[in-house]
């Protein structure tokens, strides 16, 4: 297994819809193993293939939950069914979210409280579970990456402006920027 560099906001693969996985083979299983290793080194709760520069509809997760769902796994070609998202403003302490591809920054975002996750594992077997609370947030966050969205694209105006100021300050928004888990300092201080 290999730890892969994580792409930073502005890398084109992060901003376009990822393509469906058509072949479940050893190459796919190696990518999944590398994503798991990368997520572990980055102290993440999830990682989508575009975050390691691969435009495929795959994400992995590792999040202890109280749902009747696995605490870790992979979902290939996922489909999410969501409960309604509250129209209330996000709570700046309760709804804070961060992203390995927008490293070191965190902003509040309102998400659906419930998500049904369907897709396939790395061998092409069906996956189907329900996630609630923070686990549902993780599923939505990773799924968004597959549609070319980062959580900062969903922020309400006042937080969006703050995020874009930080992106400019860091010099993000251009292709070719990455950080290396286990080598570069942990941007979230874990």
Binding site, annotated residues for Fe cation: 99, 141, 145
Specify which residues 106 forms β-bridges with.
Answer: 98
Return contacts of 124-130, CB within 8 angstroms, 24+ apart.
124/24, 124/76, 127/73, 127/75, 129/67, 129/68, 129/69, 129/70, 130/67, 130/68, 130/69
Rg (CA), the chain: 16
Residue 22 known to be catalytic: no
Q: How far apart are CA 166 and CA 163, in angstroms?
A: 5
Q: Given 11, 37, 105, 142, which residue is catalytic? A: 142
CB 22 within 8 A of CB 67: no
Q: Which residues contact 160 (CB under 8 A, 6 or more apart)?
A: 152
Q: What positions carry a catalytic annotation? A: 142
């Amino acid at each position: 297994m290999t730890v892969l560099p994580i792409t930073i906001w502005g890398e084109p693969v992060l901003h376009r819809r990822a393509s469906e996985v058509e072949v479940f083979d050893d190459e796919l299983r190696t990518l999944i193993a590398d994503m798991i290793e990368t997520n572990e080194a980055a102290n993440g709760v999830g990682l989508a293939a575009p975050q390691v520069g691969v435009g495929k509809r795959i994400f992995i997760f590792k999040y202890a939950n109280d749902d009747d769902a696995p605490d870790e796994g992979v979902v290939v070609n996922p489909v999410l069914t969501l409960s309604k998202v509250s129209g209330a403003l996000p709570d700046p302490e309760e709804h804070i979210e961060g992203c390995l591809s927008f490293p070191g920054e965190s902003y509040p975002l309102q998400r659906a409280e419930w998500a049904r996750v369907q897709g396939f594992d790395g061998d092409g077997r069906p996956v189907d579970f329900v996630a609630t609370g923070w686990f549902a947030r993780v599923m939505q966050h990773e799924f968004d990456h597959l549609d070319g969205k980062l959580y900062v694209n969903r922020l309400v105006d006042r937080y969006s402006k703050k995020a874009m100021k930080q992106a400019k300050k860091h010099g993000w928004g251009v292709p070719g920027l990455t950080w290396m888990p286990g080598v570069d300092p942990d941007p979230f201080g874990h």
